[in-house]
Amino acid sequence: MIVRAEFDKLPADLVHELTEAGIDAGQIYDLVEAALDEELPELVPGGMPSEDVTSVATIGADALGRGDFAVREAGVVSGLGVAALVFHYVMGDTVTILDRVPDGTRVAPGDVVMTVTGPTRGLLTAERTALNIASHLSGISTATAAWADALAGTKAKVLDTRKTLPTFRALQKYAVRVGGGVNHRNSLADMALIKDNHALAAGGVVPAWRAVREMYPDVPVEVEVDTLDDLAALLDAGCERVLLDNMSTEMMRQAVEMTAGRAVLEASGGLTVERAREVAETGVDFISVGALTHSVKVFDIGFDLSEG
């Protein structure tokens, strides 16, 4: 059976670390609890309490172990604090976290980024959930770092989008920050983004922008355009943030010249890291990349167990 440590029993320094990183530790605790409910539901068919049947059958109750999180490829690690929280949730104060490198560390194949010690059964019960989270977030940070490296020396920054996994948005956006990217809006309420469907319904990009500005005067507004005529109309109206959707490099360069600093410009639409530098050198301020979160490759981290 797992401990399922209560939130107030988690190490205070770990909770503080996550909070300082802009993560709601209570929300992440709930996410971890839901993940462990998938691994070990309260009851199994027949009404019996569930347990890790493989570990219970093969490992003595008093066995102690050591597990190393070792990376199998080069990249940027992220989510190790959340992985540590998983072990504390499962094992309470019977687990010890050793030698955890800071999120954002660039690593090479073979590097050990975190070591955990404690009852072997608990280590293996927590292993997969911890790895799933750390591998996914490290994949996002690694992909973001590739974009940030490609943009180095230009003023452009790479932005994420709302194309995130339900309930994982806060963690995925955290991983983007760790990789050197910038977060776009976090929800539908903290910023207005007028896309083609909104403009169609409102009768054009300028009427749509004015409608949002009148109803929500204190909310930031960005408008998507795919023509220079729409950009010119928005600039004349006073719009201060514009998304250039699926424009060619030359068209983006013309948009930057036309804008002349009157608005923040964001490039978007099927962009690749190979094209990042070319786009950045047009003078746009941001490049938004949905693939950072919706199509990220899982980063290869292994869990190597040895006897305590």
Q: Could you tell me the CATH number of the domain that includes residue 234? A: 3.20.20.70
pLDDT in tens, 232-266: 999 999 999 999 999 999 999 999 999 999 999 99
- Asked if residue 2 belongs to a domain, the reply is no
Give residue for tokens 């050793």: 98
For 157, list phi and psi in degrees, rounded to 5: -120, 150
Asked if residue 120 is part of any domain, the answer here is yes
pLDDT of res. 4: 85
- Considering its fold, how many domains does the chain have in total? 2
pTM listed for this prediction:
0.94
Is 59 buried (19+), middle (13-18) or exposed (0-12) by CB count in 10 A?
middle
Residue 266 in domain: yes
Note whether 153 and 290 are same-domain residues.
yes
> Does a structural domain hold residue 260?
yes
Range of the domain at 218: 149-294
Regarding whether 83 and 15 lie in a shared domain, the answer is: yes
Q: What is the pLDDT of residues 278-290, one digit of tens each?
A: 999 999 999 999 9
Examine residue 72 and state whether it is found in any structural domain, yes or no: yes
Same domain, 16 and 153: no
**Is 1 within the bounds of a domain?**
no
Catalytic option among 163, 169, 210, 213:
163
Question: Do 99 and 155 share a domain, yes or no?
Answer: no
User: How high is the pLDDT of residue 51?
Assistant: 86
CA dist list (Å): 130 to 73, 116, 215, 223, 299: 18, 11, 44, 39, 13
Does one domain contain both 69 and 116? Answer: yes
- Which residue in 9, 72, 106, 128 is the catalytic one? 128
Is 154 in the same domain as 137? no
pLDDT of residue 45: 62
Query: Is there a single domain that holds both residue 114 and residue 172?
Result: no
Does residue 245 have an active-site annotation?
yes
- pLDDT, residue 307, reads 79
Query: Is 224 marked active-site?
Result: yes
Catalytic annotation present for 33? no
Q: 171 with 129, same domain?
A: no
Going by their DSSP bridges, the two strands 43-44 and 48-49 should be labelled as: antiparallel
> Could you confirm whether 128 is annotated as catalytic?
yes
- 117 domain-assigned: yes
Is residue 123 domain-shared with residue 168, that is, in the same domain?
A: no
Residues 241 and 260 in one domain: yes
**Which positions ≥6 away from 99 have C-beta within 8 Å?**
112, 114, 115
26: CATH = 3.90.1170.20
Please identify every stretch of the chain with a pLDDT value under 70, giving residue numbers as ranges: 1, 43-49, 308
Same domain, yes or no: 259 and 129: no
pLDDT attached to residue 46: 64
Active site residue 230: no
160 and 125 belong to one structural domain: no
